Amino acid sequence: MNANLYALFASNFPGDASTCCIENHDGLFYSWDDLERATAKIANSLASLNLPQGARIAVQVEKSPEALMLYLASVRAGFVYLPLNTAYRASEIDYFLNDAEPAVVVCSPAHFGWVSSIAFKAGATHVFTLGEDRDGTLLARAAHQPDTFETVARAPDDLAAILYTSGTTGRSKGAMLTHDNLASNAKVLKDYWHWQESDVLLHALPLFHVHGLFVASHGALLNGSKMIFLPKFDNESVVRHLPRATVFMGVPTYYVRLLADPSFKREVCSSMRLFISGSAPLLTDTFEEFSRRAGHTILERYGMSETTMLTSNPYAGKRIGGTVGLPLPGVSVRVVNQDGAACAPGEIGDIGVKGPNVFKGYWRMPEKTAEEFTSDAYFKTGDVGKVDDNGYLSIVGRSKDLIISGGYNVYPKEIESVIDEIDGVVESAVIGVPHPDFGEAVVAAVVTGPNASFSEGDIIAALKTKIANFKVPKRIFFVDELPRNTMGKVQKNMLRQQFEKA
Ligand code: MLC
Ligand code: AMP
């Protein structure tokens, strides 16, 4: 049997392929037949390039139905899809392309100049463009291709995608996900969240991370359900489209923003069946206020790039705020102490996971991969949690030095290295502080040399040219020295206390 993920989706498309698969925000409708034919054209186009087996297709484009089709076509043609956040700047793209060595790079038309220059130097053989409005060379080339394509046979363990996740050392690692990782998770979630024939997904998440690309899109594709596609999250569009939707997925910031909007009322949720939150901690206050305002209990689940979804609050059973629910069927999740022994209920320890959802390893980093697994093959998530008497998991912290801002991960070490490169900066420490909108905000404490005289704005402006905007500290605090313990380690707790209310 062909384990290609696309074949799984295609076998679940509705019997009547003329029904709507994607309704775009601009009013354009794409049927399931359109999806099948457009992915065939793009897949034929990619196949005609005679790329080697396992070639990577790296993509940094704005969200559109065609961007989803490019993903599906890459998988369908047997290649490895590598999505990149549209916020990444040249130095970040340079790193990813040199590390992943993709054969094909697809970027926004406006970025062709600088992206193609990096891509060709990194060994790519083709660079295409894809705009938000069906413009660009990718579709122009695909237009001449046949609209049928035999989905390439793949084994369950073959790679379907590589997702880059930052690391505590500051160097991003490519998490290699197989066709079976993605298929098994999609199938489990379809049953666990009771996807129904009449479901309509309001899709507001970006298409370059696990949440929007896999959890949301795969759910609708596997269930043969219509998606209403928004280019990005904004309150007005979500409130306008919710009355025709049944399922919505978002990071906690989406729920915080909806609650802050007076036009978000119970009436707009009347057709809704399920609101799902994940990627960052959902505050209990948000969970409770949403239940009062919308009359819906948000279902919180927990996942990560390396493992896709691990746990979820139940659909039918009790959804408990402040917890991420129970291990998904077929997924083993455990909490262990420093000695590797299982923690008793309520005891805090490291969260580990094993199952068909767990990735194959980090791209070209066998040692790093080995370090992140225990001897009995559990992946160390880097999250710290506890399980209650009923088996519900709560995440109480992270052993990895990670900030999650509006659902995006920021590793302090990476930002500190970029700040430290600025002439006149002696050293820096980057921390996360509570933020009413983003959950956590990135801020930096910076020590400058005796003759340096910059303002906060100077440093922020310098950083914006080098790293994605969401990683740029919202505030810079100048300090005479960083607080250190007797071992010389920076005491970030002290900085957090000092600056959390500043
Ligand atoms: C944008 N900005 C952010 C930011 N997003 N800053 C910090 N954190 C963020 N997440 C910057 C902008 O560049 C801008 O900078 C300023 O903040 C204000 O922007 P905005 O207009 O308010 O932002 P907006 O475009 O509305 O985006 C906010 C957002 C978006 C929350 C809608 O960040 C988003 O969609 N996040 C979802 C992330 C996601 O999909 N995560 C899933 C990861 S998968 P300036 O300087 O220009 O003013 C994963 C696994 C799992 O974690 O379990 O799911
Ligand atoms: P990423 O590397 O982008 O896939 O982010 C994965 C990380 O997001 C996890 O290791 C967790 O720290 C965090 N995360 C995901 N879902 C939740 C959640 N529901 N609650 C708290 N943290 C979460």
* Sign of the alpha-carbon dihedral angle for 108, 110, 116, 117: negative
pLDDT grade for 1, boundaries at 50, 70 and 90: confident
Task: Please report the atom of ligand 1 found closest to the CA of residue 469.
Answer: 13
Task: Please report the atom of ligand 2 found closest to the CA of residue 398.
Answer: 12
Looking at residue 273, its amino acid is R
Task: Please report the atom of ligand 1 found closest to the CA of residue 460.
Answer: 46
Domain 402-499, architecture per CATH: 2-Layer Sandwich (3.30)
The token pair at 92 is: 């970040």
What does the alpha-carbon distance between residue 351 and residue 112 come to, in Å, rounded to a whole number? 42
Residues 85-131 pLDDT 10s = 999 999 999 999 999 999 999 999 999 999 999 999 999 999 999 99
Residue among 231, 234, 205 at smallest CA distance from 220: 205
Task: Please report the atom of ligand 2 found closest to the CA of residue 324.
Answer: 19
The CA distances from residue 210 to 196, 215, 218, 219, 502, in Å, are 22, 6, 10, 12, 33
Residue among 286, 276, 364 at smallest CA distance from 324: 276
State the distance from the centre of ligand 2 to the C-alpha of 278, rounded, in angstroms.
Answer: 7
Residue nearest atom 15 of ligand 1, based on CA coordinates:
469
Residue among 216, 217, 219, 214 at smallest CA distance from 190: 219
* The dihedral formed by the CA atoms of 249, 253, 255 and 256, expressed in degrees to the nearest 10: 180
Same CATH topology for 5-179 and 233-355+364-398: the answer is yes
Q: Is 233 in the pocket of ligand 1 (CB under 6 A)?
A: yes
Task: Please report the atom of ligand 1 found closest to the CA of residue 303.
Answer: 53
Q: What is the pLDDT of residue 168?
A: 62
State the distance from the centre of ligand 2 to the C-alpha of 307, rounded, in angstroms.
Answer: 10
Looking at the whole model, is its pTM more than 0.75?
yes
Paired residues of 127 in beta bridges: 105
Average pLDDT over residues 317-344: 97
State the distance from the centre of ligand 1 to the C-alpha of 353, rounded, in angstroms.
Answer: 28
Residue nearest atom 15 of ligand 2, based on CA coordinates:
279
State the distance from the centre of ligand 1 to the C-alpha of 158, rounded, in angstroms.
Answer: 32
Q: Is 324 in the pocket of ligand 2 (CB under 6 A)?
A: yes
For the chain, give the percent of residues with pLDDT over 90.
95
pLDDT grade for 501, boundaries at 50, 70 and 90: confident
The CA distances from residue 426 to 100, 170, 274, in Å, are 33, 19, 50
Q: Write the CB contacts of 252 (distance below 8 Å, at least 6 apart in sequence).
A: 277, 279, 280, 281, 282, 283, 286, 407, 439
Whether pLDDT at 502 is above 80: no
What does the alpha-carbon distance between residue 481 and residue 474 come to, in Å, rounded to a whole number? 20
Average pLDDT over the chain reads: 96
* Sign of the alpha-carbon dihedral angle for 134, 137, 139, 143: positive
Query: Which ligand is closest to the CA of 306, given by its number?
Result: 2
Q: Is 65 in the pocket of ligand 1 (CB under 6 A)?
A: no
Query: Which ligand is closest to the CA of 232, given by its number?
Result: 1
Whether pLDDT at 274 is above 70: yes
Q: Is 210 in the pocket of ligand 1 (CB under 6 A)?
A: yes
Q: What is the pLDDT of residue 347?
A: 97
pLDDT grade for 444, boundaries at 50, 70 and 90: very high
Q: Is 209 in the pocket of ligand 1 (CB under 6 A)?
A: yes
Q: Is 300 in the pocket of ligand 2 (CB under 6 A)?
A: yes
First CA to last CA across the chain, in angstroms? 59
* Whether domain 233-355+364-398 has CATH 3.40.1010.20: no
Q: What is the pLDDT of residue 171?
A: 77
Rounded to whole angstroms, the maximal C-alpha distance in the chain is: 72
Average pLDDT over residues 399-407: 91
Q: Is 53 exposed, middle or buried (0-12, 13-18, 19+ CB in 10 A)?
A: exposed
CA-based angle 23:29:35, to the nearest 5?
95
What does the alpha-carbon distance between residue 332 and residue 153 come to, in Å, rounded to a whole number? 29
Q: Is 310 in the pocket of ligand 2 (CB under 6 A)?
A: no
Residues 347-369 pLDDT 10s = 999 999 999 999 999 999 999 99
What does the alpha-carbon distance between residue 9 and residue 12 come to, in Å, rounded to a whole number? 5
Q: What is the pLDDT of residue 401?
A: 84
Pairing of strands 379-387, 349-354: antiparallel
What does the alpha-carbon distance between residue 365 and residue 162 come to, in Å, rounded to a whole number? 13
Q: Are 437 and 256 in contact (CB under 8 A)?
A: yes
Residues 178-228 pLDDT 10s = 999 999 999 999 999 999 999 999 999 999 999 999 999 999 999 999 999
Residue nearest atom 41 of ligand 1, based on CA coordinates:
407
The CATH number, out of the four listed (1.10.8.50, 3.30.110.60, 3.40.1650.10, 3.40.50.980), of the domain defined by the range 5-179: 3.40.50.980
The token pair at 1 is: 């049997």
Residue nearest atom 46 of ligand 1, based on CA coordinates:
469
The token pair at 60 is: 């940094």
Average pLDDT over residues 48-65: 97
State the distance from the centre of ligand 2 to the C-alpha of 119, rounded, in angstroms.
Answer: 30
Residue nearest atom 28 of ligand 1, based on CA coordinates:
406
Where along the chain do its domains lie? Answer: 5-179, 233-355+364-398, 402-499
Query: Which ligand is closest to the CA of 167, given by its number?
Result: 2
Residue among 286, 468, 318 at smallest CA distance from 390: 318
Residues 129-176 pLDDT 10s = 999 999 999 999 999 999 999 999 999 999 999 999 976 666 799 999
Indicate the angle between helix axes 412-420 and 456-464, nearest 10 degrees.
Answer: 110
The token pair at 278 is: 């994940």
Q: Is 304 in the pocket of ligand 1 (CB under 6 A)?
A: yes
Backbone angles phi, psi at 163, to 5 degrees: -115, 125
438, 456, 466, best to mutate for ligand 1 pocket (most atoms within 8 Å of CB)? 438
Residues 219-262 pLDDT 10s = 999 999 999 999 999 999 999 999 999 999 999 999 999 999 99
What does the alpha-carbon distance between residue 276 and residue 248 come to, in Å, rounded to a whole number? 6
